[in-house]
Structure 1
Amino acid sequence: MSNISDKHLSAPDSEKEAGDLEAGPTTISSEPSLDDADRDSNLITWDGPKNPKNPKNWPKGLRWKNTWTISLFVFISPVSSSMVAPAMNDLANSLRMRTEIEIYLSLSIFILAYAIGPIFFGPASELYGRVRLLQFSNVWYLAWNLGCGFATTKGQLFAFRFLASIGGSAPLAIGGGAISDMWTAEERGKVMGVYTLGPLLGPVAGPIAGGFIAEYSTWRWVFWSTSTSAAAVAVQVVGFFWLQECHPGNENLHTGEKVETLGYKLLHAFERPVKTFATQPIVFCMAIYTAYLFGITPGIGGLNYLSIAIGSFIGLFFNLKLVDRIYKDLKARNDDIGKPEFRMPSLAVGSIISTIGLFWYDWSIGNAHWIMPNIGALIFSMGIISCLQVAKHSIS
């Protein structure tokens, strides 16, 4: 950055520079060649468009390595969300659950925490970076997920599942922002498609693995198995060596005023996304639509795991070919100025396809051969991955 070395303000080299700092704000710009009149004196940014410290200028191999590592973190938690489903009856008998509400709460309480964790993890990652929060939250998730296997009462299981999900929700909140840190708008569409596979395929892989584990052991091994806890350890190790901080924030920058407390910093960081959600109609609509898409996905996934997986891969393949191409064409027609709205054609097509698949699935259950609901689930998944890809990209 201008007047910044490795994203830190340089100490003044002379009394004149020190006097200038006291007299007014330092002029900082990403375009050093611009006239002073055109510069934003309040802007802190990179020293030119080719600064190698900027994550968007990292070698493409490094950016992909970081992206795949983040995707692994995102994949782990959704596996746990549904993996216990095949062992529900065994679990209910062991922990003396008497009502259907208690039985299904052991599954759904994991999803409940998804609505709470991101409220704090998202803003906190803007202050303290992506890497520390991803690794801390994964260790938190691992500890409480292991605890689920040691639960001796239903109350303990509910509490441990909820706390595990708090940690597991962090990658879902942080991942989209981390990808935006590293990839330009023209590149981000296909990358977001790869990232979106994690939360879609996790609930698909979970019950399949959980079914085999529950058949040959007990429900406790669903939480201890290599598919959840051991996999979280493996992801933690991969993240330790591969994951690099990509958020350009610098918590060491200060103005010399009174040092802000941790609580004030978090509250201030939390204020921004709340204001954006409440005052920007497009953000509000995309968030509500994404919540709807995630809400209806597990219901179908419980019956047609493989169909959803196949449909997701087919949808991803077509999106990789089309979504960034559409964005670039619309940007070129708009004097080479990109806008988030240029992703909307992909969202529109995905919404139509997912609606067709959902009606197909609903109509064919009990009225046609078993392959028909699976085809409906496949079509639905093709559309939903396009919608989620665009929604996550637009919000992040």
Structure 2
Amino acid sequence: MATSLEETSSRDAALGPADIELADTTLPFTATATKTKDQDFLVTFDPSFDVDNPKDWPSSRKWSVTDVLSATGFNRIMVSTIMAPALSTIAYELHMSSTEAVMAFSIYLLATAFGPLVIGPLSEVYGRKKVLHASNVWFLVWNIVCGFARTKEVLIASRFLAGFGASSIYALAGGVLSDVWRPEQRGRSLGIYLLIPLLGAAVGPIIGGFMAFRTTWRWMFWSTSIFQAVMIVISFQAFHETYAPTILARRAATLRKDTGDIRYYTAHECAMADRSLLSILTQALTRPLRLLLFHPVIQITAVISAVSYGILYIVLATFADLWTKQYGQSVEISGLHYIACALGEVAGSQLGGPLMDAYYRRQQSRHPDTVLAAEHRIPLSFPGFIIAAIGFLIFGWTSQFRVHWAVVDIGICVAMFGEQIAGLPLSAYTMDAYAEHASSALAASQFLRSLSAFLFPLFAHAMYEKMEYGWGNTMVAGLTLVTGAMPVVLWVWGKDFRGRARGTV
């Protein structure tokens, strides 16, 4: 039976000293775990309703933590793209080659490949709150350094370190949303969470374009650092711990202190009782790589999202050049076209989220006595890939023949819309399939996503020079369709894959 805070130690039948073995007091949840198997002292959430259970929180508190993550994600993703229109200016001032300038832009994304491998698992040991606050401060420090960089070496190094701190949003967001929202609410919560960060990817180049034209590029980093400082203050006030094992460990510690009875314990504490802190951290920190190496579900979803993310950054890295070189527009005006990218992504997330929840409820009504398998998320992704491919074809060939700019923007808007419609169900699928370790699972996927976002822009300019926009984007459309067929494997065999690999988590 679940033990709540209101219960006291009315059960005084003490175990003998030999029946109790204390855990290593260095465990991160600062509780003294007991190995007793007496279920009367097992501390859990009340299955009917529990005020401390994040899934039973009032909607206002759920949206509070979701909005904090969303606003934080907006700033960190905006910083990843804000340099794009000013690369030539920065290269001239810091005596950088074109390759070094692109490196300064892309290395931020390389850091977001490695950061989640550390940050995601740590949030499953120490809780989400501490990790979020620490990463916020880390990102702020190194983003400020970017603004004061006087050499290309300092700029590139500080961009990498800032990206490492910024990457926590990729590791934490999925975990926190999985902690707080129930499966039938997954679509809406993902859609609302993504609304602001998706704007960041497009707003970054717009702001960067105006700053590069009207003031120093350094204000790109100073202004985002001011915003980040404000977000740190807000997050300390508005963000609450969401990780269930951490919350339950605190409840058990309170019960032990208030009652003087050391027999209260949680399932997580019991599992960790015989292990050292080093052993716990080693298992946690290697979990994303083990998932990526041994779990076909993670491998397939990671490849799909990596290709989609890499294509997105091909667009973000080359979009301004299209308008300045192909259409002869100014740097300022070229940045405004990123609004088309933002509109497509926002429309996709806001339509895709409710659509996903409606589809889930419909499937649940057809199978009222069963818990739906995670694979029920997958069919909704297929239309998105087809829409995206059509959008890239329109975008590529209209820009090739210099059709009116509005038609080109419509093409890229359709492509981004399709990418979001396809991506949302796959993100929800990963969160449902690996609910207990959602942060580690998404960190494993993010590793390949960030690598592709780092690498794809490096050859994007050469691709368009050789193939031009028509055939270049035809290839992109074909790649989108090929990866769009891969979820069929998960739809058919995903449940079997998860069952066979369960022991390697």
Pairwise same-fold verdict (TM > 0.5): yes
Shift of 1:116: 0.5
Structure 2 counterparts to residues 381-396 of structure 1, below 5 A:
381-396=416-431
Q: Indicate the residue corresponding to 2:342 in structure 1.
A: 309
Separation in structure 2 between the aligned mates of residue 290 and residue 281 of structure 1, nearest angstrom: 14
Question: Is contact 1:189–1:389 with CA below 8 Å preserved after alignment?
Answer: yes
- Structure 2 counterpart of 1:279, from 277, 294, 307: 294
Structure 1 residues 69-121: Cα deviation after superposition (integer angstroms, max 9, x where no partner): 11111111111111112221221122111x22111111111111111001011
After TM superposition, the score normalised by the length of structure 1 is: 0.88
Q: Specify which of 222, 226, 233 is matched with residue 230 of structure 1.
A: 226
Deviations for 1:104-145, whole angstroms, at most 9, x for unmatched residues?
A: 111111111111001011111011111111111111111000
**Contact between 1:4 and 1:10, CA under 8 Å: does it hold in 2?**
no
Separation in structure 2 between the aligned mates of residue 274 and residue 331 of structure 1, nearest angstrom: 33
Corresponding residue SS for 2:190: helix
Residue 61 of structure 1 aligns with an amino acid whose one-letter code is S
Match of residue 81 from structure 1: 80
Change (3 A) 1:4 1:280: farther
- 1:34 aligned partner: none
Q: Which runs of 5+ in 2 are unaligned?
A: 22-34, 254-265, 320-336, 432-505
Partner of 2:306: 291
SS in 1 for 2:288: helix
The 5 A counterparts of 1:96-135 are 96-97=95-96, 99-135=97-133
Q: Cα gap change, 1:326/1:10 in structure 2, threshold over 3 Å: closer, same or farther?
A: farther
User: What is the identity, as a one-letter code, of the residue corresponding to 2:163?
Assistant: S
Q: Secondary structure at the match of 1:145?
A: helix
Give the aligned partner of residue 319 of structure 1: 352
Equivalent residue runs for 1:211-290 within 5 Å: 211-225=209-223, 228-250=224-246, 254-255=269-270, 260-261=276-277, 263-290=278-305
Shift of 1:359: 2.0
Q: SS of 1:338's equivalent?
A: coil
Aligned equivalent of 1:370: 405
The CA distance in 2 between the partners of 1:134 and 1:355, in whole Å, is: 36
Asked if 1:57 corresponds to 2:56, the answer is yes
Please show how residues 28-177 of structure 1 align to structure 2 within 5 Å. 45-97=44-96, 99-177=97-175
State the one-letter code of the partner of 2:239.
L
Shift of 1:324: 0.4
Q: Could you tell me which amino acid in structure 2 is paired with residue 297 of structure 1?
A: L
Please tell me whether the aligned partners of residues 350 and 386 of structure 1 are also in contact (alpha carbons under 8 angstroms).
yes
- Which of structures 1 and 2 has the larger relative contact order (alpha carbons within 8 angstroms, sep 6+)? 2
SS at match of 2:244: coil
Identity %: 34
Aligned counterparts of 2:20 and 2:77: Cα–Cα separation in 1: 49
Retained in 2: the 8 A contact 1:75–1:201? yes
Question: Alpha-carbon deviation of 1:279?
Answer: 3.0
Instruction: Report which stretch shifted further, 159-168 or 296-305.
Output: 296-305
RMSD of aligned C-alpha atoms?
A: 2.6
Name whichever of 271-280 and 138-147 sits farther off: 271-280
| Residue correspondence of structure 1 range 200-219 to structure 2 within 5 A | 200-219=198-217
Q: In structure 1, how many angstroms separate the alpha carbons of the residues matched to 2:294 and 2:191? A: 28
Greater shift in the superposed pair: 138-147 or 15-24: 15-24
Paired amino acid for 1:384: E
The alignment partner of 1:51 has SS state of coil
SS in 2 for 1:249: helix
Q: Contact (CA 8 Å) 2:198, 2:346: kept in 1 or not?
A: no
